Structure 1
Amino acid sequence: MYLYMNGEVIKEEEARISPFDHGFLYGMGLFETFRVYGGHPFLLVDHLERLNSGLKILGIQKSLTIVEVVKALQPLLEKNELDNAYIRLNVSAGARGVGLPVEPYEDAIVMMFVKALPEAGVPTEKEAQFLKISRNTPEGPLRLKSHHYMNNLLAKKEIGTRTDVEGIFLTKEGVIAEGIVSNIFWVIDNKLFTPDIRTGILNGITRSFVIELAKKRGICVEEGFYQPEILNSATEVFVTNSIQELVAISKIDSLVLPGVNGELLQALHKEYRLYSNKLWSKKEIMELGGV
């Protein structure tokens, strides 16, 4: 497999970073994962806006443009002979001596990793369970998609090796937060609910896109602080991320749900599929008109 690193497409075994890279030593790095559909990087503008905003917060003096990323992405896809792919765009702070600096990082390392994905198809389904480990609080004013992933890794160990189960975090206050690698939604009385960003969750790109899709369809969306018992009244539950899209939940602990038979899940996924090979940003939804 080939990857992109600071302007070059190279074999993965040729990639090197310094042991003094602060992305490695202190977690000073951010990443975005997005999906390429038939060569199109879906919602890339939104991913770059979140990435660049986070880099500014961390004092990493790097800002990536869509032209720059597409220029790097095209030969990467060609070299790996891929048209449908998982992409991880990673920016690490770069090498600096041991210690905690206050000065900005000026030598960031930009990398892109790629994995093959099949053509997108029908919605998939998982079970879910509430985790014993709580969602940690963000390291700064809001949660960044950073190298700080121990909370997620410990949660994954709690779930075990099953790939058809998603763990759902609660905050230390006991309210619903998010999945290990996803945001969560549920339906009650034809209204769509999801945790508020102020719970400390990641403001997922697919989360934001699904909220816009729902509003466009005239569906009321409520964001708030919810105890787990609220899901006992839910008629549908699903989770979202940029690679798995919308994933239906068929069961949460002992609560049985309709899974992929959920009507709103099916409608939103169908519309998501219409846009996935053409949109650069969620702002384009209204410009394209109704479905």
Structure 2
Amino acid sequence: MSIIFLNGAYVRAEDARISPFDRGFTFGEGVYEVCIAVNGNFVDAPAHLARLDRSLAACGIAAPPERAELHSIMKELLQKNDVRTGLVYLQVTSGMSSRNFTACPEGRPTLMMLTQASDFEQTPAFRDGIHVQLQEDIRWLHRDIKTTMLLPQVMAKRNALANGVSDTLFYDALGITEGASSNVFLVDGHGTLVTRPLSNLLLAGCTRERILELAQEAGFVIDERPIQRAELATAAECFVTSATYLVAPVLSVDGRAIADGKAGQVTRRLQHLYCAYIAGEGRACADM
């Protein structure tokens, strides 16, 4: 029996009630964050909450009255669900109004938080890698906002599964934009890390930011520029990053193997660095 946090109270999930007039339900007017915890400690929570603030401001949604206490609420939610390693999902919508595009919400924003247990380092994606497909990116042009309007990503992921692969990478006229729920990195033949620079066309991933910092500290050369689709054919390695993927090797794209079709040394090195970071005190991942 799970406990969620809803508008100022901890309640059993089956007892939670949200109005059918909530604008998150009628218009998809909401934003969210996913923050992982390892051994009871959140990973980069300040960055996630700062991005939440940016998304709220961009959408004109008022911050919930619990904003200053969100970190402590997240910790208590883990404890109430007896979760030490897993995630907290946090969603804010503008609240209730009549079914009208421009109606002002009545009352407070809706804040809902839930938690799930997960051992991220033991997922098949992290340990073994993923196979992906390419799809033209015809989504809206504010992908930098972490909105709950995720139907295009849901459709892309379901299409990938129907085609026998794990996920989808989007592309536009400039190159690869992002994964359906991740940022994309390529390692070229010289060992340079290549990833698309931030803009309104992709989400500023918190894991992406941390990987770039760890890679720079480790002496890797980084080139922030669009990845051309043709480069995937000659890439030494490719991987994706996200809060739940952590760092996942990409083994093939549209049925064509990346290099030898196995996770590369740079990807594995960055996995170790990131695992050590999230665990604290330099503990690396289990042998992979």
| Alpha-carbon distance between aligned partners in 1 of 2:107 and 2:177, rounded to the nearest angstrom | 35
Q: In 2 relative to 1, CA 67–198 (structure 1 residues): closer, same or farther, beyond 3 Å?
A: closer
Task: State how far apart, in whole Å, the 2-side matches of 1:82 and 1:51 are.
Answer: 23
Residues 101, 174 of structure 1: CA spacing in aligned structure 2 closer, same or farther, 3 A cutoff? Answer: same
Q: Deviations for 1:58-105, whole angstroms, at most 9, x for unmatched residues?
A: 111216888612321233222211111121111111001111227577
- Choose 110-119 or 175-184, whichever is displaced more: 110-119
Per-residue deviation, residues 189-219 of structure 1 (Å, max 9, x unmatched): 1110012223711111111111111111221
Structure 2 match to 1:229: 230
CA 1:2/1:30 → structure 2, altered by over 3 Å: closer, same or farther? same
Matched, 1:265 2:253: no
Question: Could you say if the C-alpha distance between residues 163 and 73 of structure 1 is closer, same or farther in structure 2, counting changes exceeding 3 Å?
Answer: farther
Distance 1:264 1:7 in 2: 44
Q: After superposition, where does 1:80-99 map in structure 2 within 5 Å?
A: 80-99=81-100
**Helix, strand or coil: the match of 2:199?**
helix
Give the Cα separation in 1 of the matches to 2:66 and 2:140: 30
Aligned equivalents of 2:275, 2:67: Cα separation in 1: 22
From the superposition, tell whether residues 106 and 222 of structure 1 become closer, same or farther in structure 2 (CA, over 3 Å).
Answer: farther
Residue 289 of structure 1 corresponds to: none
- What is the match of residue 181 of structure 1? 181
Partners of 2:164 and 2:183 lie apart in 1 by 17
Separation in 2, partners of 1:201, 1:225: 11
Q: 1:64 to 1:262 in 2, by over 3 A?
A: farther
Distance 2:39 2:262 in 1: 25
Aligned residue pairs total 276
State the Cα distance separating 1:127 from its structure 2 match: 3.1
Q: Classify the secondary structure of the residue corresponding to 2:48.
A: helix
Contact 1:42 1:278 in 2 (8 A): no
- Matches of 1:65 and 1:7, distance apart in 2: 7
CA contact (8 A) 2:195 2:224 kept: yes
Mapped partners of 1:163, 1:204: distance in 2 = 26
Q: CA distance change for structure 1 residues 243 and 6 in 2, over 3 Å: closer, same or farther?
A: same
- SS of structure 2 residue aligned to 1:147: coil
AA in 2 matched with 1:125: D
Contact 1:84 1:116 (8 Å CA) reproduced? yes
CA distance, structure 1, for counterparts of residue 96 and residue 105 of structure 2: 12
Could you tell me whether the CA contact under 8 Å between 1:37 and 1:119 is conserved in 2? no
Unpaired segments ≥5 residues, structure 2: 282-288
Q: What's the TM-score once normalised by structure 1's chain length? A: 0.86
Change (3 A) 1:214 1:145: same
After TM superposition, the structure 1 stretch with the greater mean CA deviation from structure 2, 10-19 or 129-138, is 129-138
- On the 8 A contact 1:45/1:66 being kept in 2, the answer is no
Distance 2:262 2:89 in 1: 28
Q: Percent identity?
A: 25
Which amino acid is the alignment partner of residue 152 of structure 1? Answer: Q
1:175 Cα offset (Å):
1.8
Which residue matches 1:282?
none
Q: 1:147/1:199 Cα in 2 relative to 1: closer, same or farther (>3 Å)?
A: closer
Describe how 1:112-123 pairs up with structure 2 within 5 A: 112-118=113-119, 120-121=121-122, 123=126
Q: How does 1:58-73 map to 2 (within 5 A)?
A: 58-62=59-63, 68-73=69-74
2-structure distance, mates of 1:28, 1:262: 40
Establish whether residue 137 from structure 1 lines up as the match of residue 140 from structure 2.
yes
CA distance in 1, matches of 2:105, 2:98: 13
Larger relative contact order, structure 1 or 2 (CA cutoff 8 Å, min sep 6)? 1
Residue 128 (structure 2) aligns with: 125
Structure 2 length-normalised TM = 0.87
RMSD: 2.5
Q: Which amino acid aligns with 1:151?
A: P
Structure 1: 5+ residue stretches without partners = 280-291
Cα drift, residue 185 of structure 1: 0.4
Question: Which region of structure 1 is more displaced relative to structure 2, 59-68 or 185-194?
Answer: 59-68
Q: In 2, distance between residues paired with 1:68 and 1:57?
A: 22
- Pick which of 156-165 and 92-101 moved more: 156-165
1:277: which partner in 2?
Answer: 279
Asked whether the equivalents of residues 33 and 87 of structure 1 are also in contact (C-alpha less than 8 Å), the reply is: yes
